[in-house]
Amino acid sequence: MEITADLHIHSRFARATSRYLDIPHIVHWSRLKGLQLTGTGDFTHPAWMEELKGLEERDGLLWYEGYPLMLSVEVNNMFEYEGHPVNIHNVILTDSLDSAQQINDFLSNYGDLGADGRPNLKLSMQEMLDELKLLNPKTEVFPAHIWTPWFSILGARNKLSSIFDVVDDRILAIETGLSSDPPMNWITEARRFPIISNSDAHSPKNLAREATVLDVKELSYDEVIKAIKENKIIKTYEYYPQEGKYYWDGHRKCNVSFPPEESLKLNNRCPVCGKKLTIGVLHRVMELADKPLGYKPPSARPFKHIIPLHQSLSKILNKPITSKKVEEMYHQLVNYFGSELNVLEAPLERLRLAMDPLLAKKLYAINQGQISWKPGYDGVFGEFTLGEIEHKKQTSLGDFE
For residue range 293-329, what is the model confidence (pLDDT) as tens digits?
Answer: 899 999 999 999 999 999 999 999 999 999 999 999 9
72 and 206 share one domain: yes
Domain boundary among the residues 219, 242, 265 is at 242
267 domain-assigned: no
388 domain-assigned: no
In the chain, how many domains are there?
Answer: 2
Between CA 139 and CA 144, with CA 141 as vertex, the angle to 5 degrees is 150
Write the single-letter amino acid at 194.
P
Domain boundary among the residues 242, 258, 282 is at 242
195 and 72 share one domain: yes
pLDDT digits (tens, 9 = 90+) for 41-83: 999 999 999 999 999 999 999 999 999 999 999 999 999 999 9
Number of H helices, E strands in the chain: 13, 17
224 and 317 share one domain: no
Domain boundary among the residues 222, 242, 262 is at 242
Q: Is a pLDDT exceeding 90 seen at residue 399?
A: no
Structure confidence at residue 108 (pLDDT)? 99
Q: Is a pLDDT exceeding 80 seen at residue 34?
A: yes
134: how many CB neighbours lie within 10 A of its CB? Answer: 10
Give the span between the Cα atoms of 331 and 265, in whole angstroms: 49
Name which of 101-105, 137-141, 194-198, 278-282 the model is least confident about.
278-282
Q: For the residues 169-179, what does the mean pLDDT come to?
A: 96
330 domain-assigned: yes
Helix 97-107 with 125-135: angle, nearest 10 deg: 140
Task: Please give the residue that has the higher pLDDT: either 145 or 156.
Answer: 145
Q: What are phi and psi of 291, to 5 degrees?
A: -135, 155
285 domain-assigned: no
Alpha-helix residue ranges (DSSP H) falling in 121-211 = 125-135, 182-186
Alpha-helix residue ranges (DSSP H) falling in 75-158 = 97-107, 125-135
Q: Is a pLDDT exceeding 50 seen at residue 400?
A: no
Structure confidence at residue 246 (pLDDT)? 87
Q: Is a pLDDT exceeding 50 seen at residue 397?
A: no
Confidence category of residue 197, pLDDT binned at 50, 70, 90: very high
234 domain-assigned: yes
Q: What are phi and psi of 60, to 5 degrees?
A: 75, 10
pLDDT digits (tens, 9 = 90+) for 114-140: 999 999 999 999 999 999 999 999 999
Q: Is a pLDDT exceeding 60 seen at residue 141?
A: yes
Dihedral sign for Cα 45, 127, 70, 61, please. Answer: negative
Q: What is the CATH number of the domain that holds 221?
A: 3.20.20.140
pLDDT digits (tens, 9 = 90+) for 374-391: 999 998 989 999 864 333
Q: Is a pLDDT exceeding 60 seen at residue 178?
A: yes
Closest of 103, 224, 82 to residue 159, by C-alpha:
82
pLDDT digits (tens, 9 = 90+) for 240-280: 999 988 899 999 999 999 999 999 999 999 999 999 998 89
311 and 238 share one domain: no
Give the span between the Cα atoms of 71 and 40, in whole angstroms: 5
Structure confidence at residue 379 (pLDDT)? 87
Task: Please give the residue that has the higher pLDDT: either 33 or 390.
Answer: 33
296 domain-assigned: no
Q: For the residues 193-205, what does the mean pLDDT come to?
A: 98
Structure confidence at residue 393 (pLDDT)? 38
27 and 156 share one domain: yes
Give me the percent of the chain exceeding a pLDDT of 90. Answer: 92
Structure confidence at residue 329 (pLDDT)? 99
Structure confidence at residue 394 (pLDDT)? 36
Give me the percent of the chain exceeding a pLDDT of 70. Answer: 96
Q: Is a pLDDT exceeding 60 seen at residue 102?
A: yes
Look over the chain and give the mean of its residue pLDDT values, rounded to a whole number: 95
Give the span between the Cα atoms of 342 and 168, in whole angstroms: 38
Structure confidence at residue 149 (pLDDT)? 85
283 domain-assigned: no
The neighbouring-strand residues paired with 196 are 175
**Cα atoms found within 13 Å of the Cα of residue 133, Cβ hemisphere only:** 14
Give the span between the Cα atoms of 219 and 3, in whole angstroms: 8
263 domain-assigned: no
Structure confidence at residue 391 (pLDDT)? 39
Whole domain around residue 99: which residue ranges? 2-242
104 and 238 share one domain: yes
pLDDT digits (tens, 9 = 90+) for 215-240: 999 999 999 999 999 999 999 999 99
Give the span between the Cα atoms of 294 and 365, in whole angstroms: 24
141 and 17 share one domain: yes
196 and 331 share one domain: no
- C-alpha dihedral (309, 312, 318, 319), degrees to nearest 10: 30
Write the single-letter amino acid at 356.
D
Structure confidence at residue 37 (pLDDT)? 99
Please say whether the beta carbons of 376 and 246 come within 8 A: yes
